[in-house]
Amino acid sequence: MLLNWKTGGLLLGLVFFAAVLLVKPIGVSTQFVILDGIVADAITPELITKTDEGYTSTNAYLAKSNGKYAKAASNPLNYSFIFVAAMILGGLLSSRLRGGVEKGEREISALWRANFGDSKVKRYAAAFAGGFIVLYGARLAGGCTSGHMMSGMMQTSLSGYIFALGAFGAAIPVSLLMFKKGV
């Protein structure tokens, strides 16, 4: 069973509104840096240290903002990290409720098939490459689509609107180039 896009959009908007109202704006990409910090600290325990003033790190990025990221990597059971873990678990749950990945593999969109064929390897490689490019760009910009565009626009942030224009300004021509063959 697929969720109607209008219902899904309304539910997503309500979740974002509730998150901003009850906790804080949603942002995801920083948590990948925090995960890197958790793994690196497990391998190199002297990476993050607790001082009388708080947390610090030998890594400049983790040490910035008065050790805010070092603290998050040292104590990952916080709202933001659990939120990202819940997104991953939610995706897994959704996949299972729809019949699993294998069922989804048989439902390749006609548009994808017309342009790229039935190769699972191509689909996974394209998804990975696209995700990597978006995450790299998000970290380069100091945020992510959820933080800049979705939460930012909801808070009427000028940077949110600029980011959205840039994201769609790049996505539309790339999609037109990639999906030249219609259905």
What Cα–Cα distance (Å) separates residue 177 from each residue in 135, 152, 170?
21, 29, 11
Per-residue model confidence as pLDDT tens digits over 35-90 = 889 999 999 989 999 988 899 999 998 898 889 889 999 988 888 888 888 888 98
Domains of the chain, by residue range, sit at 1-107, 109-183
Q: What is the helix (H) or strand (E) element at residue 28, kind and residue range? A: none
With a cut of 60, say whether residue 160 has pLDDT above it.
yes
